[in-house]
């Protein structure tokens, strides 16, 4: 990435747990480094424990550890250098016929736990089949999701599927992403779920605590493009942590036991 023009964002999070016993866990909070650069990062736990990093099946940077019994705090803080420009746009980006898609994209054309594209295929074709293929069609999907689903905290549960969202017409950012991913896949457009940090740059700040943000990426014209149906605008500063088939693949913390999350804080602020 060119250093002639850059945006530096401070990102991070803090989790406080109470656990009756040792609990293995996998943590996904570190920004990936494709198209952006982590120029400083700090990881700390209280009490200090051993941990190690590994890459999952999707290439995401994971940290593996065991939460000890009692009170336990994890804190991650980083400065990330990324593009100062809004997410890229190319209205000429075309859909690629399935027979020409790269092998590694095919998994993102299939149904997944929260994105049951096979069950919504008829609806997707009836609603979007007449739209010009390519960028215009994916944008039409984002427009529909943004207009038809009401963003509302507390309306989504860990097991909420796209069918639940379309029935209730409410959800949070992950539900917006799941809906758009589902429709794209139903139309044979590879689409993958993404989550990460999104600072309030170029938009009015919202009067709620910062949280992680979810969006999705569609494969058009031979590459992946960022789309954000929750905000439905080309935002500045999407800093991805992980990508997968849906939210199940990229939970920020997966615990294998009784550890209980007591408090959580997330930050994403412009530095320069």
Domain for residue 12, yes or no? yes
Number of domains in the chain: 2
Domain for residue 16, yes or no? yes
Q: Which two tokens stand for residue 53?
A: 């990093």
**17 is in which domain, residue-wise?**
7-84+252-270
Phi, psi at 218, each rounded to 5°: -115, 145
Give the Cα separation of 8 and 199 in Å (integer). Answer: 11
Give the Cα separation of 250 and 254 in Å (integer). Answer: 9
Q: Is cis: bond before 8, omega within 30 of 0? A: no
Same domain (yes/no): 167, 219 = yes
Checking DSSP bridges between strand 61-67 and strand 23-27, what pairing results, if any? antiparallel
Same domain (yes/no): 71, 123 = no
Contact call for residues 149 and 163 (beta carbons, < 8 A): no
CATH number, domain of 42, equals 2.60.40.2250
pLDDT, position 5 = 67
Same domain (yes/no): 239, 114 = yes
Residue 256 has pLDDT above 70, yes or no: yes
Same domain (yes/no): 162, 143 = yes
Q: How many CB atoms lie within 10 A of CB 181?
A: 32
Residue 2 has pLDDT above 70, yes or no: no
| Average confidence (pLDDT) over 106-119 | 96
Domain for residue 93, yes or no? no
Same domain (yes/no): 61, 150 = no
Angle between helix 121-128 and helix 173-186 axes, rounded to 10 deg = 80
Specify which residues 77 forms β-bridges with. Answer: 12, 42
Domain for residue 59, yes or no? yes
Same domain (yes/no): 238, 104 = yes
34-79 tens-digit pLDDT: 788 999 999 999 999 999 999 999 999 999 999 999 999 999 999 9
Domain for residue 2, yes or no? no
pLDDT, position 187 = 98
Domain for residue 89, yes or no? no
Confidence of residue 142 (pLDDT cuts 50, 70, 90): very high
Confidence of residue 4 (pLDDT cuts 50, 70, 90): low
Give the Cα separation of 82 and 1 in Å (integer). Answer: 8
Confidence of residue 14 (pLDDT cuts 50, 70, 90): very high
Side-chain-side CA neighbours of residue 211 (13 Å): 11
19-35 tens-digit pLDDT: 999 999 999 999 987 78
CATH number, domain of 207, equals 3.10.620.30
Same domain (yes/no): 53, 106 = no
Same domain (yes/no): 105, 228 = yes
Same domain (yes/no): 126, 178 = yes
Same domain (yes/no): 193, 122 = yes
Residue 160 has pLDDT above 90, yes or no: no
Domain for residue 91, yes or no? no
Give the Cα separation of 272 and 216 in Å (integer). Answer: 26
Same domain (yes/no): 151, 242 = yes
Domain for residue 118, yes or no? yes
Same domain (yes/no): 103, 116 = yes
Q: How many CB atoms lie within 10 A of CB 140?
A: 16
């Amino acid at each position: 990435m060119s250093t002639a023009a850059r945006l530096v964002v401070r990102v991070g999070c803090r989790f406080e747990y109470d656990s009756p016993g040792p609990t293995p866990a996998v943590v996904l909070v570190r920004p990936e480094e494709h198209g952006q650069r982590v120029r400083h990062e700090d990881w700390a736990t209280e009490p200090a424990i051993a941990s190690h990093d590994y890459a999952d099946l999707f290439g995401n940077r994971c940290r593996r550890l065991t939460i000890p019994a009692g009170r336990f705090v994890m804190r991650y803080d980083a400065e990330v250098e990324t593009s100062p420009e809004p997410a890229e746009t190319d209205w000429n980006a075309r859909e690629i016929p399935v027979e020409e898609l790269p092998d590694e994209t095919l998994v993102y054309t299939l149904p997944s736990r929260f994105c049951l594209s096979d069950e919504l295929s008829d609806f997707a074709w009836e609603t979007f089949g007449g739209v010009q293929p390519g960028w215009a069609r994916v944008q039409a999907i984002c427009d529909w999701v943004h207009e038809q689903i009401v963003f509302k905290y507390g309306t989504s549960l860990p097991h909420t599927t796209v069918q639940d969202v379309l029935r209730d017409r409410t959800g949070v950012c992950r539900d917006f992403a799941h809906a758009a991913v589902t429709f794209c896949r139903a139309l044979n457009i590879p689409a993958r779920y993404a989550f990460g940090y999104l600072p309030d740059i170029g938009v009015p700040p919202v009067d709620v605590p910062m949280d992680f943000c979810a969006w999705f990426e569609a494969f058009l014209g031979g590459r992946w493009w960022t789309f954000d149906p929750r905000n439905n605008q080309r935002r500045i500063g999407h800093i991805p942590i992980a990508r997968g088939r849906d939210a199940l693949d990229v939970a920020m913390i997966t615990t294998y036991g009784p550890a209980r999350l007591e408090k959580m804080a997330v930050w994403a602020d412009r530095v320069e």
